[in-house]
Structure 1
Amino acid sequence: MVSRSILHLDLDTFFVSCERLLDSRLNNKPILIGGVTDRGVVASCSYEARQFGIHSAMPMKLARELCPEAIVIKGNSATYSAKSNEVTEIIRGEVPLFEKTSIDEFYVDMSGMDRFFGNYKMASELRSKIIDNTGLPISFGLSQNKTVSKIATGEAKPNNQIKIDYGLEKHFLAPLSVKKIPMIGDKTYIALCNLGIKHIHTIQETPIELMEKAFGKNGITMWKKANGIDPSPVIPYSERKSISTERTFDRDTIDVVKLKAIMLAMAENLAFQLRRGQKLTACVTVKIRYSDFNTYTLQSKIPYTSADHVLIPKVLELFNRAYDKRLLVRLIGVKFSHLVNGTYQINLFEDSLEMISLYQAMDKIRDKHGDRTVIRAAGIEAKTISRFNPFNGDAPPLLPNRRS
């Protein structure tokens, strides 16, 4: 039986690295990427900023207090998407099977390739090619499974690489903090500490029955991961199945005219992203979060389309049904899902040649000069549209903005 060999690749401080490629003056300085207002959060930060105790998902206001000299950048998801796609295409051209788990993280199944190349040598060459072609720092861990490789990558950072030889997984994991195990969050860590378990070797020495008694099925999974056991496969990379956007307001609002204008602009922009990515959607979802943080969503199935004049009315219809006029709104969002490859099909009974020509002309201008260059007057209230995906984690548009 061929032993498994799983490579984990992670682009170091990816958003920050992309910004530094654009402006070398940012090198070696504390950088914060994320919402620029006090209500924003840190999406990414440089290692220089982390020395002040700053981490991702921290409120921007607190991060600024911890490091007043930090440079705050709103970020550009189109830029990050373009760079991520560059790395993806390099990996696609070099390996037979890989999984893209986020915009900056990949797994590669290299099982059985040792007989031809030598997996560590091939992984090193792949890493060098990514660095040489994109200018982005990247680290990797190589072992017999996903868990050990991911933890190894974390130990290799920044911009380095580690191989854990077969049979040495437990020895490598033993001295590390239990927080290094990917599934262990803050609450589980506190619970483990309360039991006197702070390092992985303690879990290794604990009978699996006791872990199950204390944590149920999660206890069994924790024990297996601590012992370097993880049979989960590398899932072949496939295209995303949804695209979405959201807007969090600096001040909660009840201005329905403004809300509808932004919803319209979101729908219009996402429809353009669909057409540019040659995708069609069959499900529209609207999301509203009120000032009390209660969140409501409504969705509707529709015939496959990427047309503004179909999607915008549906989005506004769902918004009108979901909106409670008595409450202040904190956040709104739109999501198109059930995506398939395809181009917009003309409806012989409803569409005119003039309408189709108009779409093509507007999209051509947007492709050349930016996706907000041509917009409907009703959506002009939305000066900016975030493209972070609130439904499936952070995600960029289907294709990067081609504006230079």
Structure 2
Amino acid sequence: MLGDRSIVHMDMDTFFVSCERLQDSRLNAVPLIIGGHSARGVVSSCSYETRYFGVRSGMPMKQALRLCPDAKVIKGDMELYSKYSNLVTEIANEHAPMLEKSSIDEFYIDISGMDRFFGCLQWTTELSDKIKREAGLPISFGLSVNKTVAKIATGEGKPLGRIEVPATAVRPFMNPLSIKKIPMLGNATFQILARIGIRKVHTLADMPVEVLQRILGKNGISLWKKANGIDNTPVEPYHERKSISTERTFNQDTFDVDMLRRLLVSMVENLGFDLRKENWLTSTITLKIRYSNFDTHTRQKRVAYTSDDQKILEVISELFDKLYERRMRLRLIGISFSGLVRGSYQIDLFEDTPHKIALYQAMDSMRMRYGKEAVTRAANYTPKPR
């Protein structure tokens, strides 16, 4: 069964940097950092010239500039990156039998059975060359039996990597790697496993799965499977989402402004979590209210691409103050995010601190494990009766 599938993972190399260099050739070979200009900012992306000095994505800007003081810092342009991302997606979609866009700069393709008509490696190489030729962007790919191994292969081959890992080579390829190479294995999990001597994939793969389950719960089973090259996750067909929204119709019409504001906080937190979970950023925020006489009004505001709850809440509060003008009861309130582009939480927060990014990641991790209501702002917290 392991060899029945042929899954490609493609990832644009230093995508943000490559987009900026397409716009301005003077940036070629220049040490380049994409991120916040302030000392409190975070590195969103960086060129290989800066990585030579130890600069990495997610690093505090102050530390990055200390390591590479000659680096040129660019704030970043999500609209530009989205344009090139859509171009690459269109090229891939023209040829791929089944494509899943997993983020702004990477996607999976299921080409199972292609070997009967056309060599999988040859097909993937030709698509990679076409993207490089028509979009001008460098790209790496991994080809293997499932998503996990293909993604790891892409990472091992960067930059401009083209690695095929057939079914018979999965374990030999995976075994010597650090467990940090396994997708979705974060630093906290790494520290837990490292303390019991598990640092290499082969050690993790050879552990009794029952032991890992006792230590890490369900995640232990998932990591054991990945370490053994087992991943049956399907490639989901790509459909571009236009918007994400939620609304609440009240059982009784209300003009309790304090309750309405608490409700808006809860709605933003839930939608913001959905944005980050699905790797979306929004550029248009819309608030809708409906009065008791059924008059419906909306207001919207364009913002820099974001998935930051706090920034969105500030906009929603502003829209609510402008929109709720009558002293009349409301029967419905709703929020909508549109103008979506693919991108992760770190991509958006060019001016945020590593502490804030870590906080949001920790909160989202708790929601993923225990549900959306697991953590909320104190202003929105209502103790449940015992």
TM-score of Structure 1 vs Structure 2, range by shorter chain: 0.5 to 0.7
SS of 2:114's equivalent?
coil
Matched ranges for 1:3-402 at <5 A: 3-242=4-243, 285=268, 310-311=299-300, 316-318=318-320, 336-337=336-337, 394=347
Which residue type is aligned with residue 114 of structure 2?
M
Cα shift at 1:393:
6.5
Q: Contact 1:77 / 1:388 at 8 angstroms: preserved in 2?
A: no
- In structure 2, the residue corresponding to 1:311 is in which secondary structure? strand
The 8 Å contact of residues 145 and 230 in structure 1, kept in 2 or not, is answered as yes
Q: CA 1:211 to 1:320, structure 2 compared with 1: closer, same or farther past 3 Å?
A: farther
- Measure how far apart 1:338 and its partner are: 7.6
> What is the identity percentage for the equivalent residue pairs of Structure 1 and Structure 2?
51
Shift in alpha-carbon separation, 1:388–1:4, aligned structure 2, 3 A: closer
- Contact 2:109/2:235 (8 A) holds in 1: yes
C-alpha distance in structure 1 between counterparts of 2:136 and 2:119, whole Å: 25
Q: How far 1:14 sits from its partner (Å)? A: 0.2
8 Å contact kept, 2:287–2:298: no
> C-alpha displacement at 1:76, in angstroms?
1.2
Deviation for aligned residue 1:240 = 2.4
- Between 63-72 and 234-243, the greater mean CA deviation after superposition: 234-243
TM-score scaled by length of structure 2: 0.67
Instruction: Provide the aligned length of Structure 1 versus Structure 2.
Output: 286
Counterpart Cα distance in 2 of 1:220 and 1:30 = 41
Q: 1:64 to 1:110 in 2, by over 3 A?
A: same
Q: For 1:201, what is the secondary structure of its paired residue?
A: helix
Distance 1:235 1:319, change over 3 A: farther
* Runs of 5+ unmatched residues, structure 2: 246-266, 271-284, 291-295, 302-314, 324-334, 350-386
Distance 1:137 1:48 in 2: 15
Partner-residue secondary structure (3-state), 1:10: strand
- In structure 2, what is the Cα distance between the partners aligned to 1:389 and 1:160? 23
How far did 1:29 drift?
2.3
Shift of residue 61 of structure 1?
1.6
Question: Unmatched 5+ residue regions in structure 1?
Answer: 245-283, 288-297, 322-334, 341-386, 397-404
* Secondary structure of the corresponding residue to residue 176 of structure 1: coil
Distance 2:269 2:320 in 1: 6
> In structure 1, what is the Cα distance between the partners aligned to 2:197 and 2:29?
39
SS of the equivalent of 1:16 reads helix
Please give the secondary structure, in 2, of the residue aligned with 1:114. Answer: helix
Q: Helix, strand or coil for the counterpart of 1:142?
A: strand
CA distance in 1, matches of 2:29, 2:92: 28
Which is helix-richer, 1 or 2?
2
In structure 2, what is the Cα distance between the partners aligned to 1:74 and 1:153?
A: 27
Paired amino acid for 1:7: V
Tell me the amino acid that sits aligned with residue 300 of structure 2.
Answer: L
* 1:334-363 deviation digits (Å, cap 9, x = unpaired): x733899xxxxxxxxxxxxxxxxxxxxxxx
Which shifted more, 310-319 or 186-195? 310-319
User: In the aligned structure 1, how far is the partner of 2:160 from the partner of 2:28?
Assistant: 15
Other-structure match for 2:329: none
Q: 1:393 to 1:44 in 2, by over 3 A?
A: closer
Q: 1:161 to 1:206 in 2, by over 3 A?
A: same
- Tell whether the 8 Å contact from 2:287 to 2:300 is kept in structure 1 after alignment: no
Kept after mapping to 2: 8 A contact 1:286/1:319 = no
Amino acid at match of 2:38: T
Moved over 2 A (4+): 240-244, 284-287, 298-303, 307-321, 335-340, 387-390, 392-396
Task: For 1:314 and 1:191, locate their aligned partners in 2 and report how far apart those are by CA, in whole Å.
Answer: 40
In 2: Cα distance, 1:105 partner to 1:16 partner: 15
Structure 1 residue 176 displacement after superposition: 0.3
Q: What one-letter code is carried by the residue in structure 2 that aligns with 1:46?
A: S
Question: In the TM superposition, what is the alpha-carbon distance from 1:50 to its structure 2 partner?
Answer: 1.3
Deviations 1:247-272 (A, max 9, x none): xxxxxxxxxxxxxxxxxxxxxxxxxx
Q: Secondary structure at the match of 1:139?
A: strand
Letter in 1 for 2:22: L
Contact 2:9 2:143 in 1 (8 A): yes
String of CA shifts for 1:208-239, please: whole Å, max 9, x gaps: 11111221111111110000000001111111
Letter of the structure 1 residue corresponding to residue 299 of structure 2:
V
